[in-house]
Amino acid sequence: MGNNHRAALDTALAYHHAWTGHDFDQAITYIADDITCQAPAGHLQGAEAFRGFMEPFARILTSSHLVAAFGDDTTAVLMYDTDTVPVRDAPAAECLSVADGKITHLRIIFDRVPFEAARRAATGQALATE
């Protein structure tokens, strides 16, 4: 392996540290214009759609702790814990594909239920139970 054996991990960590440090303008510099993103809410296409999804979350972030990070020259996996204004203890994981220093695909996994419950509580709506 050459010097780029951690290229994806380095890019993923730079992106992660930027958005968790409340510098989303810096974070978006690591995102490819044609990024695809798989999130619990569905599929996103393009940097503008991705920013519309991720930036509001970055704004409500109060703290973040990186649990683990692994990667090679094309793929990185990050696992982290976050605290946000509406939800404390919101763990997440991301699998990121990187090409030429840009994140081209990001799959993010997190539990939407606590965020939906917080949203409903703030608006006085009952959470649907099955």
- Domain CATH number, residue 102: 3.10.450.50
* Residue 64 resides in a domain: yes
Which carries the bigger pLDDT value, residue 113 or residue 16?
A: 16
Question: Which residues does residue 91 pair with via DSSP β-bridges, in sequence order?
Answer: 81
Mean pLDDT of the chain, nearest integer: 89
Q: What is the residue range of 49's domain?
A: 7-113
* Residue 61 resides in a domain: yes
**Structural domains in the chain (count):** 1
* Residue 121 resides in a domain: no
* Residue 123 resides in a domain: no
* Residue 15 resides in a domain: yes
CA 2, CA 36: separation in Å to the nearest integer? 28
* Residue 71 resides in a domain: yes
Cβ neighbourhood burial of 83 (10 Å; 0-12, 13-18, 19+): middle
* Residue 129 resides in a domain: no
Mean pLDDT of 36-53: 95
* Residue 54 resides in a domain: yes
CA 49, CA 19: separation in Å to the nearest integer? 16
**CB contact at 8 A, 82 and 63:** yes
Model pTM score = 0.83
Q: What is the pLDDT of residues 45-102, one digit of tens each?
A: 999 999 999 998 899 899 999 999 999 999 999 999 988 887 788 889 999 999 999 9
Q: Decide if pLDDT at 103 tops 80.
A: yes
Q: Decide if pLDDT at 117 tops 90.
A: no
Query: Three-class SS of residue 58?
Result: helix
